A and B are shown apart, each in its own frame.
Chain A
């Protein structure tokens, strides 16, 4: 890069506003659909692990192993089966979310106080109704804490998908490198962080609305 080139040229952003908006939409889809899929898988899986404790350690081990595999390598392994498509990015991202979501569903269910469970049984709740109407709502804060971590990581990981041509805003990161022009890279990083942090804030809000009875702060780690 020559020294006269500024870190960011504001004019470029103005010229590309429409295109940036399109890529932002794609990025959100690639980042958030895996979280949704992950949640759809984790809730039943978490309930099963909570119910049959012996199931939990092996599930946790598999999750940890999947989580440790670098995204680039995992994308490449799926290319063979799903081609250079959005699915190739979304399947690995879904697998990554499980490593946060499953433990949080299990912990959330474990956080249901025993007297509450007993009361539900005494009131005649069957096992299914008890899980759906009593235990899951109580688990919501812990589950959402997991969803926050999963969503933020997922949104920032999408960019790597650009190496197989499906990276949402990651497009501008490789473009900037090819043109030796930092503005698109800086813009992409800023937009990705903005998307992640906005999603995080909306999830905090969603948790407040879903659990009006709990105003206590849930920590994420």
Chain B
């Protein structure tokens, strides 16, 4: 228990010392880097994953390929991929962002696909029966009904990106992982645990943001059956 209190004091000392809040090595700058990496990768991953997920889900063509990609992607060690990209392309942001994007596409793709595929065929038929075009069926019926799963996919992708962006500090990128990696190499436990705390808080905020988003945009009629990961 004393240990825990000591740890908390360590964290609060670190967080409140003013040097953490200024300059290129400060928390705001690192947080901004982290959010930029994460935001850009998530945006591109969402564009790719949603497009293909909706397309494959709506037409039903390529379902096997989607399932295989998702399975294979889970097996890729993200840490290894990021380090490999840096070794091959040198230390620059763009290749790492491409790797982060590639890792985030599969969860979005598979969940969007399953969400659209899981729409009751009778509902889809009814939508066509009342004269909707294919586009309207997709946008007005399938997407709203698939929304809980689509959001789940985006949430899993966001969580993975935030975690992998932390690890990307190891081969030399910025972001919040810097505190942990630098702290480890300098044997500065205060820095390590302070950095970890900031990362944990960010991850929780991402989680909360998606939970809130789901409350707001998912149709109330779907909430009961909304599923989880």
Interface residues of A (CB under 8 A from B): 1, 7, 60, 64-65, 67-74, 76-77, 79-81, 99-100, 103, 149, 152-153, 155-160, 162-164, 170, 173-174, 176-177, 180-182, 185-186, 188-189, 192-193, 196-197, 200, 219-221
Contacts and interface: CB of A to CB of B under 8 A. Distances in A.
A196 B76 CA distance: 9
A161 to B, nearest CB: 9
Interface of B: 3, 7, 67, 71-72, 74-81, 83-84, 86-88, 90, 110-111, 114, 159, 162-163, 166-167, 170-171, 177, 180-181, 184, 189, 192-193, 195-197, 199-200, 203-204, 206-207, 228-229
A7 B87 CA distance: 10
Closest 4 CB pairs of A and B: A70-B163, A196-B75, A73-B196, A189-B80
Contacts of A7: 88
A221 B228 contact: no
B162 A70 contact: yes
A150 B167 CA distance: 20
Instruction: Tell me whether chain A's interface is mostly helix, strand or loop, or mixed.
Output: helix
B29 to A, nearest CB: 19
26 contacts: A64-B228, A67-B159, A68-B207, A69-B204, A70-B167, A70-B199, A71-B163, A72-B163, A72-B167, A72-B199, A73-B199, A77-B200, A100-B229, A149-B74, A153-B74, A156-B74, A156-B75, A156-B76, A170-B77, A170-B80, A173-B79, A173-B84, A174-B170, A177-B170, A193-B77, A197-B72
Contacts of B110: 221
A68 B74 contact: no
Given A68-B159, A70-B163, A189-B76, 4 more contacts: A60-B228, A76-B196, A197-B75, A219-B67
Majority-rule SS of B interface residues: helix
A196 B87 contact: no
B196 A185 contact: no
B222 to A, nearest CB: 17
Contacts of B75: 152, 155-156, 192-193, 196-197, 200
A193 B76 contact: yes
A186 B196 CA distance: 29
A38 to B, nearest CB: 15
A51 to B, nearest CB: 19
A189 B85 CA distance: 12
Contact of A65 (B166, B184, B204): B204
Given A72-B163, A103-B228, A185 B170 contact: no
